[in-house]
Chain A
Amino acid sequence: MLIAGISCDKDDEPVEVITPANYVGGEGFFIINEGNFGQANGSLSFFNLDNYRLYENIFQSVNNRPIGDIPSFMGIRGNVGYIVVNNSAGIEIVDLNTFESLHHIGGLGSPREILILNDEKAYVTDLAQSGLHILDLISHTVLGTVELGKSSENIILADQKVFVSNWSDYYVPAENNTVQVIDPLTDTKVSEIPVTKEPNSMVRDKNGKLWVLCSGGFMGEEVPALYRINPATLDIEGKIEFSSSDMAPSKLNINASGETLYYLNGQIFRMSIQATEIPSGPFIEYQDGALYSLFVDPDNSHIIASDAIDFQQPGKVFIYREDGSLMKEFTAGIIPGSFAYRH
């Protein structure tokens, strides 16, 4: 056995062996499994809503290589997916019908999320750099940056403006309690809206209003709060505070009609956009610890949540109906951190 083992065996690539995915596309949602930092064992899973089947490791299975270290976000435009790979400092662009890699854009620092503005241009937020990356989606190059003076996290388009949350001050020392406003026509910052510390997620409601969820700081410096902002005037129209600075709400989502907000605070909470108070109890109570991520399907308001368990083994994904009843539960990849819906 030993002697057999030393022979030249160029056919065996010295890389991780995985189970083939046999991805066939269709309608459903992608699960972006972050994997462990520095181990590049993140992956992409796809849950097909046509046949209710899970396809795992689809990127590596199709492209015969890992997607990179810490895939963290996926943007979709038509049949093309843009997967942000944080610790590989790049973006993988894939054909969603086959999941074949079309292009790779690198050199982005510590990218977090992508906002695709049109067929030609996208913005990418960055945790470790003080600017937004401007991508040319035709040439697949980085055109430049929009200087922010802060790191950037969540990004959303509202009223022809781009809103960026300044969530972290870890790599770029600067106050992390603002939402910055960018004019996508001139690629310049035009305004900055002060909010509570650590704005982590934003949604737009049926009235076009921008909702911003702030966790209050990882050391509990401030009481978490939810803001409603008029994107046209940039005025703060409302602020709802949580009951304690011990809380760390995150993952703000909104349902298909744009009337009901969802967020995570260990459990799944929901509230009407008309509400004036934070709900006192969870909408869906999760008994096995704390949930890690949340996503609300923009077509039919399915609520999709994940539990990263011990962050070492593959995590669990739960699909709930809009009434909160559990529809499906399955195991995905390591640390299911975000989701992307494909119509």
Chain B
Amino acid sequence: MLLCVFLTGIHQGVCQKIPDTVNLPELMIKADARRVHPPVSAMKIPPGILRWNISSDLAGILNDNTVVSVRSYGRGGSASISLRGTMASHTRVLWNGVNIDSPSLGQSDFSTIPVFFQDEIGIYFGTRSLSRVSGGFGGAIAIQNQPSWNDTLTISIRSIAGSFETFHEMLDIQAGNEKFHARTRLLYSRSANNFPFTNYDRPGNPEEKQENAAYSAIGGQQEFYFKPARNQTLTGILMVQRFDRNLPPLTVQSYDGKTEKQEDLLFRSLIRWEANALTSRTIRVQSGFLWSSNQYLNEKAGIDDRNVYRSVPLNLEFIEQLHKNLTLVLGSQNSIQQLESENYAGPVGHHIFSLSSALHYQIATWAGLRVVLREAWVQDGFSPLLPGLSFHVKPMKNHGFYIRGNIAGNYRNPSVNDLYWSYDGFAKGNPDLDPENGYASDVSLAYEFMGPDLTMQWKLTGYYNRINDLIQWQPTGKTGDTWMPENINRVNATGIEASGDIFFNMGAVRTTSFFRGAYTRSTFDDAAENLQDKQLIYTPLLKGNALLKGEYRGYALSWSILYYGKRYTVADNSRYLPGYGISDLSLSKYIQWRTMELVLEFRVNNLFDKEYRVISRHPMPGRNYLFTLSFTLKPGNHEKNQTSMDFTHCNVDRRHILR
């Protein structure tokens, strides 16, 4: 998380030297029919923010920079997210277009996805995710890798040391030319994570240290990009990662020396062929192999539980510009999955095949429509045909006002646990479950302005999501002693999101700032009387972020704020965790000498030492520090080329935020 200032420092430091009229390189404007049209209900984390959070995980970067509500068990602990008032299982995660959610649970652990391995992180809210994947009532998080064709050789080493014996080591090597590009990323992180905290859950509120909370991650990612012809790209990606973490006791428990831990092993591979015929047709074919192993060990309880998951995805995509105003996108997503767990009677095979189509029609220069249809076959049955409709209007020709609206049906199939959990005396799956179904809708007003020294966007979105036949585990049977999932409830989620992004230059001073705020009302619609109109647990009514950053002659100072309102912890809202606000401060210095770049950064997290809890009985750290040293060597690059590329990043930053 520290590294942020480092890279932004680099790029912005260089950007200041360059006029704003430099053209973007080819890679940033590649032909993709969908990019022709204004994105709807989508947001991309700016590359600068992404690099600034390079040592963070996906949960952390989303928490600090978006309206997404993150439920994390703390540093190194597992984390899930809530998008637009929906539940954790209602957000899909796409890795280079492939859904990587655990089929067992139907959701991802966002703490196991390091930012360092990603080049792009985007959020497709609600309706927007439908053309890529189903089940994302809240939306989808898309993480992507992209080549930098202009790089010759770049070697970056980042070393980060921080409080609580926290260390991150990163090596990033890129090499290539206009036809071939290779990139290797290696990561090692570890933390004793033994931060002090006041234990308000014990008599006398003693000062304690977090115990049995150490974690470590080691992994690598290898990417190859090759252009066999001018209009074709072949991509290969391999990712291996091991994540070990001890699971600390609750604040009401004493650590008895017996280990409780979790080990996640991940292997992902992908091969993709993409061809662009002229600028009006794109074909994309990709496949791969995913393997993951999750092991939970509890010495005290004598539990050693291991789950293994394998998947072979095959995705096809065809984009055709039928007419200058009409673009067709056809896609198919196929996934053959196998799971092994003692919790199932035997290996479970799972097959998902879906077809999607989208038609973009640019009615006029000021208005466009997008129609999406999706149909899926899961295991042994077809899902309902899902329609989606989007529009955008730019009512004033010379002003950047936009009105955008979306509505789409959606459904989510039961997870493998929901269906196949074998009876263990306490619980069993329910093969007769229906998929959850419902729809998502939103309307946005946006204003965008781009001037020589001032760029800004303001956006206001209102949304409504409805989920029927919600799957929930509940006691059943004559004696109520067996838990089974049932389709028993409905969720209504409404809310308002507001955001503003401002980039302002004043001489040699360059400023970047944003704020985001969300009001979320998410309730059960079909609940018992005492639960009617009660907010879903751990779904904050209010969440906000803000960032203010200034840069001057290689120095960068940034201040970020995160705010969460109260979060109810019990279904009848009789208990809640109080709201909190925390802020981080960082100072960095960028130094360039010939082909070498050095960035030093000092960062203070939780500047005001605020005591807070994200999840009840799980402490969070107070004020803590991180120091980053980053060294980059570009032996093959001329200075001019480097600055040009860096400027591109700056400019892309701005454009991405404007989305």
Query: Which residues of A are interface residues toward B (Cβ below 8 A)?
Result: 1-10, 12-19, 38-41, 63-69, 85, 87-90, 101, 104, 106-107, 109, 128, 171, 218-219, 246-248, 250, 264-266, 289-292, 308-314, 331, 334
Contact = CB atoms under 8 A, between A and B. Distances in A.
Given A66-B252, A107-B254, A40 B530 contact: no
A248 B481 contact: yes
B616 A5 contact: no
A41 B581 contact: no
Contact of A313 (B202, B253, B425, B572): B572
A26 B531 CA distance: 31
Interface in B231-253: 250-253
A85 B544 CA distance: 38
B618 to A, nearest CB: 10
Contact of B200 (A13, A18, A85, A312): A13
A290 B478 CA distance: 6
Contacts of B610: 6, 8-9
A15 B201 CA distance: 8
Contact of A266 (B472, B479, B581): B479
Interface stretch (B373-381, B436-444, B563-571): B563-571
A66 B581 contact: no
Given A1-B544, A5-B581, A265-B479, A40 B250 contact: yes
B613 interface: yes
Contact of B480 (A8, A68, A292): A292
Given A40-B617, A290-B478, A308-B475, A7 B611 contact: no
B397 to A, nearest CB: 36
Given A8-B610, A310-B475, A14 B577 contact: yes
B582 interface: yes
B570 A106 contact: no
B472 A104 contact: no
Contacts of B608: 6-8
Contact of B530 (A9, A171, A313): A313
14 contacts: A5-B579, A5-B581, A6-B581, A6-B582, A6-B608, A8-B609, A9-B610, A13-B611, A14-B200, A17-B576, A68-B252, A104-B203, A290-B478, A311-B475
By CB atoms of chain B within 10 A, which of A69, A128, A246, A310 has the most?
A310
Given A6-B610, A8-B608, A14-B580, A39 B616 contact: yes
B571 A18 contact: no
Contact of A171 (B200, B302, B479, B481): B302
Contacts of B583: 6
A68 B285 CA distance: 54
A335 to B, nearest CB: 10
B472 A313 contact: no
Contact of B571 (A1, A64, A219, A312): A312
B572 A314 contact: yes
Contact of A290 (B475, B577, B611, B620): B475
Contacts of A67: 252
Interface in B552-606: 561, 563, 566, 569-572, 574-583
A247 B570 CA distance: 32
A58 to B, nearest CB: 14
B210 to A, nearest CB: 14
A264 B612 CA distance: 43
Interface in B448-465: none
B228 interface: no
A141 B616 CA distance: 29
A282 to B, nearest CB: 11
B474 to A, nearest CB: 5
Contact of B300 (A2, A88, A128): A128
A331 B529 CA distance: 12
Contacts of A107: 254, 256
B19 interface: no
A291 B477 CA distance: 11
Given A15-B613, A107-B256, 17 more contacts: A2-B546, A6-B583, A6-B610, A14-B611, A14-B612, A18-B575, A41-B570, A64-B200, A66-B617, A104-B203, A246-B478, A248-B479, A290-B475, A290-B480, A292-B480, A313-B528, A331-B530
For the complex of A and B, 4 pairs with smallest distance between CB atoms = A5-B581, A290-B480, A218-B425, A313-B571
Nearest to B480: A290
Nearest to B566: A17
B506 interface: no
Contacts of A171: 301-302
Contacts of A88: 250, 252-254
Contact of A128 (B200, B301, B563, B577): B301
Nearest to A18: B575
B366 interface: no
A69 B253 contact: yes
A41 B200 contact: no
B544 A266 contact: no
Nearest to B488: A310
B382 interface: no
A218 B580 CA distance: 45
B266 to A, nearest CB: 25
A197 to B, nearest CB: 12
B475 A14 contact: no
Contact of B254 (A18, A19, A89): A89
Contacts of B613: 14-15
A106 B563 CA distance: 37
By CB atoms of chain A within 10 A, which of B579, B582, B616 has the most?
B616
A2 to B, nearest CB: 5
Contacts of A289: 475, 480
A15 B200 contact: yes
Contacts of A250: 479
A193 B481 CA distance: 27
Interface in B529-559: 530-531, 544, 546
Given A2-B546, A17-B576, A171-B302, A38 B530 contact: no
Contact of B561 (A2, A14, A38, A65): A2
